[in-house]
Amino acid sequence: MKLFVYHTPELTPTDKMPDCAIAVDVLRATTTMATVLAAGGEAVQVFSDLDQLMQVSESWPPERRLRAGERGGGKVAGFDMGNSPLDCTPERVQGRRLFISTTNGTRSIQRVQDAAIVLAAAFINRKAVVDYVLSQQPEIVWIVGSGWEGSYSLEDTACAGAITHSILQQSNSPLDQLAGNDETIAAIALYSQWQDKLLELFHHASHGKRLLRLDCHEDLKYCSQTDIVDVLPIQREPGVLIAGEQGRIN
Ligand code: 3SL
């Protein structure tokens, strides 16, 4: 297995696809997706375009859908919810499909949607994703951070580091054999330094600060927890993620 970390969708190669791609948007899209699927949501369907989301979800019965729209951290008018994982209670999401469009996270999933296996990861479901990768042993794995409008984000690269760090610990391969690019080694170093103070790291991160200005303190706390849900968001068809077989709620 070779692991490649790419900080943003824009830095991800366009001329090939890996055997397994893991999209990461810790604050907050992939945390929200994992939460919805852990809470019994039927599926998560991602869109980059808000109008297209509205059009496709229109054919879905209202009692079986939830429309989530986020831009600039806030909820888009006319949508059921924004992008807070804390809004995704079992009472609200059970049996429903989440139709979601966010500023960056949904774009990173779409960027890798042609890979043979596509997963969504955050700190909250890191172990489920790592266990699956170790069980499948894909040859080439990309971990793609979402960043913010093309620029680097600390929290996504730290999560990429959490995933690679755990794979490294559990496989007996040396670092140089496992790491496909320099970004992978840098991500492990970032995670190693901050693993016991992820919430503090989020407070230093530019998107963390943006969310704090929007009063999303509790979201940051929730997103900074590691391995709290045993759910594997895995793509079933392009842009549609379901809970894989590794269980639903911890
Ligand atoms: O950029 C994204 O996709 C979002 O996760 C941003 S926010 O955390 O909802 O503001």
Q: What is the DSSP string of 34-45?
A: HHHHHTT-SEEE
Structural tokens at position 208: 């963390």
Q: Return the pLDDT at 247.
A: 42
**Cα–Cα distance for residue pair 133/141, rounded to 1 Å:** 9
Helical pair 126-136 and 154-170, crossing angle rounded to 10 deg: 50
Asked if residue 248 has pLDDT above 60, the reply is no
The model's pLDDT over 207-222, given as tens digits with 9 standing for 90+, comes to 999 999 999 999 999 9
Q: Is the dihedral of CA 241, 228, 147, 49 positive or negative?
A: positive
Measured from CB, residues less than 6 Å from any atom of ligand 1 are 25, 27-29, 70, 73, 83, 102-105, 146, 211
Mean pLDDT estimate for the chain: 96
Atom of ligand 1 nearest to the CA of 32: 5
Give pLDDT tens digits for 59-110: 999 999 999 999 999 999 999 999 999 999 999 999 999 999 999 999 999 9
User: How is the beta sheet containing 43-46 ordered, strand by strand?
Assistant: 2-6, 140-145, 20-24, 117-121, 233-237, 240-243, 43-46, 97-101, 65-71, 74-75
The pLDDT tens digits of the residues spanning 178-209 come to: 999 999 999 999 999 999 999 999 999 999 99
Tens-place pLDDT, residues 109-141: 999 999 999 999 999 999 999 999 999 999 999
The pick from 83, 108, 212, 222 for probing ligand 1's pocket by mutation, whose C-beta has the most ligand atoms within 8 angstroms, reads 83
Q: Which atom of ligand 1 is nearest to the CA of 106?
A: 3
Stretch among 49-53, 60-64, 115-119, 245-249 having the lowest mean pLDDT: 245-249
Report the SS3 class of residue 158: helix
